[in-house]
Amino acid sequence: TSQLMVGKRGLIMGLANDKSIAWGIARSLADAGAELAFSYQGDALKKRVNPLAASVGSTLVLPCDVGDEASIDALFASLKDAWGSLDFIVHAIGFSDKNELRGRYVDTSRQNFLTTMDISVYSFTAVVKRAAAMMNHGGSALTLTYYGAEKVMPHYNVMGVAKAALEASVRYMAEDLGKDGIRVNAISAGTIKTLAASGIGDFRLIMKWNEYNSPLRRTVTQEEVGKSALYLLSDLGSAVTGEVLHVDAGYHVVGMKAVDAPDI
């Protein structure tokens, strides 16, 4: 393992269990020597997150519901007390009512539209603002997005609209914070079977479709997302900001179903 992250401290938001993309990222950062803090949503997840955090040597495990400003403030106040400064932040959080992750986008309710935008888009801006205030020597922020931001994917619906806004927010924050040496990027991950993904209609079929039609003829692993995250969060990515990096076995370049793919 490399020593790329030795002496760097960062916050990982969005760890739910060992299938989470946040976990693939956390492990690659810890392997490279980073010191990690974790935030989790609600008491139910605490007992899952605690042992995972402990296994990568982290003792800073803090609650945060990103729908609540006071909760975000409390998280960053605790971090400031414990560490004073911060080098990176990972936002691996998204939410939408799963009843609207099937059927038609046009049927999205106002309430779920607002909730989806709040939790999946605004929360990244809210946490980056606070993290940046603690990044005294520059820093790096990373969020997770999906191809459904760029092209229509079945059932992704309002989440695709939210991811498009999230990607735009990456670009605006890259400009705002670049002068302070803070980089802001996103990874557009291929489909991975996680808790959040299981809420999307026909997710198994979408996984198979990616496996048969991506240039690499497979899906991606959380470890592979972790490796690309290490690139963007470490000095290896020092000139990269405002970027949406596809870590999707190449799926995003394909314009037509592969001739060797089975009919599914």
Q: For 152-181, b where at least 16 C-beta lie within 10 A, e where not — what string?
A: ebebbbbbbbbbebbbebbbebbeebeeee
Which residue lies nearer to ligand NAD by CB, 120 or 241? Answer: 120
Residue 142 main-chain phi, psi, to 5 deg: -140, 135
Q: Out of 40, 105, 122, 146, which one is annotated catalytic? A: 146
Residues in 74-133 at the binding interface with ligand NAD, rule: CB under 6 A: 92-95, 119
CA distances to 16, 165, 235, 243 from 8, in Å:
23, 29, 11, 22
Binding mask 9-48 for ligand NAD (x = CB under 6 A): -----xxx---xxx------------------x---x---
* Residues of each annotated binding site for NAD(+): 14, 20-21, 41, 65-66, 93, 163, 192-196
Q: Out of 40, 147, 156, 251, which one is annotated catalytic? A: 156
Binding ligand NAD (rule: CB under 6 A), the pick from 37, 52, 66, 230 is 66
Which residue lies nearer to ligand NAD by CB, 83 or 221? Answer: 221
Task: Tell me whether residue 6 is exposed, middle or buried, using C-beta atoms within 10 angstroms of its C-beta: 0 to 12, 13 to 18, 19 or more.
Answer: exposed
Q: CA gyration radius for the chain? A: 18
Q: Does 251 qualify as catalytic in the annotation? A: no
Binding ligand NAD (rule: CB under 6 A), the pick from 96, 125, 157, 194 is 194
Contact 145, 184 (CB under 8 A): no
Which residue lies nearer to ligand NAD by CB, 62 or 182? Answer: 62
- For residue 16, the minimal CB distance to ligand NAD (Å) is 3
Which residue lies nearer to ligand NAD by CB, 194 or 213? Answer: 194
Q: What length does the chain have?
A: 264
Residue 223, number of CB atoms within 10 A of its CB: 12
Residue 160 CA, chain-centre distance (Å), reads 14
Task: Tell the residue number behind the tokens 């060797």, with chain if given.
Answer: 260
Binding mask 132-151 for ligand NAD (x = CB under 6 A): ------------xxx-----
Q: What does the block give as tokens for 196? A: 């959040």
Single-letter amino acid code for the residue at 108: T
- For residue 73, the minimal CB distance to ligand NAD (Å) is 14
Which residue lies nearer to ligand NAD by CB, 134 or 147? Answer: 147
Residue 258, number of CB atoms within 10 A of its CB: 12
Q: Does 40 qualify as catalytic in the annotation? A: no
Binding ligand NAD (rule: CB under 6 A), the pick from 65, 97, 150, 176 is 65
Compute the distance between CA of residue 14 and CA of residue 195 in angstroms, rounded to an integer. Answer: 11
Task: Tell the residue number behind the tokens 């997770």, with chain if given.
Answer: 144
**Site size for ligand NAD (CB under 6 A):** 27
Binding ligand NAD (rule: CB under 6 A), the pick from 4, 89, 197, 232 is 197
User: Could you list the active site residues?
Assistant: 146, 156
Interface ranges with ligand NAD (CB under 6 A): 14-16, 20-22, 41, 45, 64-67, 92-95, 119, 144-146, 189, 191-192, 194-197
